[in-house]
Amino acid sequence: MSRLRIQSFSVSVDGYGAGPEQSLVNPLGIGAMALHEWALGTRTFRRMHGGDGGTTGVDDEFAARGFADIGAWILGRNMFGPVRGRWPDDAWRGWWGDNPPYHTPVFVLTHHARESIALEGGTIFHFVTDGIGAALERARQAAKGHDVRLGGGVATIRQYLRAGLVDELHLALAPIVLGRGEPLFADLDLPSLGFVRTEHVATPNAMHVVWQRQRSSDHKLDP
């Protein structure tokens, strides 16, 4: 079965996945661009946004891995854009312009129905109003055997993790503190959820750690 993966998710030393006061001007919250410094200079990130050059190496390999074998994405509504409540119109089409970096179907969680939006490069935004389980089911169908990537933000990731629906988690620990923002780990007990660390490697820009969730069929005592 296709797996649900969180990749390249950046967290500060004090556990924030986004800064305070997220807005149109500061979509990640104040100070939180620094969370992503490890990724911004990589070849993968630059190509994704139509540039060239960029670094290769461990940071770039992790960035690239996040796009390998992905057949669909799931995003929280606040990651799709700053609009809250009912959609006033169809003007907002995401942060990413006419050719977003997804190139797959993207399922956006929202309480407010809206028509799908097909953009250049294969990205289609679908709006899912019947919950995280339904979004995952639709994403899996759309992914046609490939994996599903859970993009964020923090609240969405916490929901899926606590529901036991995530198979792989890659965090990039940025060497900064934000002081305030959206905390990722509050009441989130990853060992109890079955996550086992499978990889860790540090670069000058981030400490990368990967955990895999043991499915119950993997437990020796629970055959």
- Distance of alpha carbon 43 from its chain centroid, rounded? 19
**217 in contact with a copy of itself (CB under 8 A):** no
188 counts as binding a copy of itself under rule CB under 8 A: yes
Q: How many Cα neighbours within 13 Å face the side chain of 48? A: 19
Cβ atoms < 10 Å from Cβ of 83: 16
By CB under 8 A, tell whether 3 contacts a copy of itself.
Answer: no
Q: Does 204 bind a copy of itself (CB under 8 A)?
A: yes
- How many chain residues interact with a copy of itself (CB under 8 A)? 29
Structure tokens of 163? Answer: 């529901």
Q: Is 58 among the residues that bind a copy of itself (CB under 8 A)?
A: no
Q: In which residue are the tokens 């606590």 written? A: 162
Q: Least distance (Å) from a copy of itself to the CB of residue 161?
A: 11
Q: Which residues contact 172 (CB under 8 A, 6 or more apart)?
A: 8, 9, 10, 11, 38, 39, 62, 206, 207, 208
> Quick one: which of 112, 197, 215, 219 contacts a copy of itself (CB under 8 A)?
197
Residue 101 lies near a copy of itself (rule: CB under 8 A): no
Minimum distance between the CB of residue 95 and a copy of itself, rounded to whole angstroms? 26
CB of 177 to a copy of itself, least distance (A): 5
The tokens 């907002």 sit on which residue? 92
Place of tokens 């461990």: 58
> Exposed, middle or buried, 67 (CB in 10 Å: 0-12/13-18/19+)?
middle
Nearest residue (CB) to a copy of itself, 50 versus 191: 191
Question: Interface with a copy of itself by CB under 8 A: which range of 39-47, 98-106, 127-135, 179-187?
Answer: 179-187
Distant-in-sequence, close-in-space partners of 131: CB < 8 Å, separation ≥ 6: 109
Segment contacting a copy of itself by CB under 8 A, of 65-73, 106-114, 123-131, 178-186:
178-186
Site for a copy of itself in 30-49 (CB under 8 A): 31
Q: How far is the CB of 68 from a copy of itself (least distance, A)?
A: 22
Residue-by-residue DSSP string for 166-223 = --EEEEEEES---SSSEES-TT--TTTTTEEEEEEEE-SS-EEEEEEEPPGGG-TT--
Q: Is 209 in the site for a copy of itself (CB under 8 A)?
A: yes
- Positions touching a copy of itself (CB under 8 A) are 11, 13-15, 31, 171, 173, 175-180, 185, 188-192, 195, 197, 200-204, 207, 209, 211
